[in-house]
Amino acid sequence: MIARIGAIGTILAISGGSVQALEEPVVWRDPGTGCAYLLGPQGGIAPRYNRDGSPDCPDSRAGSRVVDDTVRGIAQGLAALQREVERLRDRYTAPDPSKPPL
């Protein structure tokens, strides 16, 4: 019984030691773009994200504004096109006052 407890303790100590051996990634900012990246100790690189899910870059919010403005412009254009189609449909479905009824 004591041998089992000793073996379990040894296994836990070994597995806990490997977890502590992992180093935290280092934050690096690209001097050209200002974007932040996470550099792992083994050489891995990954983009760093803000809490809202956007990339940690200075221009990331400006890019989303451009997309929002573009979507808003497309929606306004589609609404204007829909109004024009409805106007044309009403024009062609309305009875012609110059023709006698059948």
Alpha-carbon span 48 to 52, nearest angstrom: 12
Alpha-carbon span 20 to 12, nearest angstrom: 12
What pTM did the predictor assign? 0.40
- To which residue do tokens 């000793």 refer? 6
pLDDT tens for each residue of 22-61: 678 889 898 888 889 999 888 888 889 888 888 888 776 6
- To which residue do tokens 């059948």 refer? 102
Alpha-carbon span 47 to 25, nearest angstrom: 12
Alpha-carbon span 27 to 50, nearest angstrom: 13
Predicted confidence (pLDDT) at residue 101 exceeds the cutoff of 70: no
Q: Which residue has the higher pLDDT, 28 or 6?
A: 28
